[in-house]
Structure 1
Amino acid sequence: MDHVILISQVIMSLALILVFVRIVRGPSLPDRVVALELFSTTIVGLVAVYTIKTGVASFLDAAIVIALMGFLASIGFARFLERGGPRDD
């Protein structure tokens, strides 16, 4: 069981690095917004795996808060773009 948790943490950490590169180098603002959503989703996954590893259920509350903040950030960016904010695509 510990090997599966370690492998999943390593894979998600690599995904975080790749998503961060997409956030920095993204060719357009919508690409960066999608990458930011994926970043928060991957963080939620890491917190969930850590919760399974430690057995402390209160970490799931933190994961829910992170997921809600990522969702609200995506809604905010979408609204900003809908209202004619700066676009570079």
Structure 2
Amino acid sequence: MIAVGIIVSALLFAAVSLVLVRIVRGPTTLDRIVAVDVLLAVVVCAIAAEAAFTRDATSLPILVVLSVLGFIGSVSVARFSPRSRR
């Protein structure tokens, strides 16, 4: 079980580092916003992995709130982003 925790931690660390690169180097503001949304999803996955590893369900309300926050953020960005006319 410890090997699985190490592998999951390494993959989450790699995902966070790649997302941070996209946030810093993103060519447009929309790329940066999508990267922040992905970062939120990675944080949710990290909290869920920690909850599964420790078998503790006290962080589930935090997961629900972060998931709703990510959904509302994505919908609002999609709603108010400028559309290109082609």
Coarse TM-score class (shorter-chain normalised): 0.7 to 0.9
Secondary structure (helix, strand or coil) at the match of 2:60 reads helix
In structure 2, the residue matched to 1:14 is 14
Q: Sequence identity of aligned pairs in percent?
A: 36
Q: TM-score, normalised by structure 2?
A: 0.84
In structure 2, the residue matched to 1:61 is 61
Runs of 5+ in structure 1 lacking a partner? 85-89
CA RMSD in angstroms, aligned pairs only:
1.8
Q: Which amino acid aligns with 2:47?
A: V
Structure 1 segments of 4+ aligned residues over 4 angstroms from their partners: none
Q: TM-score, normalised by structure 1?
A: 0.82
Aligned length: 84
Q: Deviations over 1:42-81 (max 9, x none)?
A: 1111001100111111212211211111111112222221
Which of the pair has the greater relative contact order for Cα pairs under 8 Å at 6+ separation?
Answer: 1
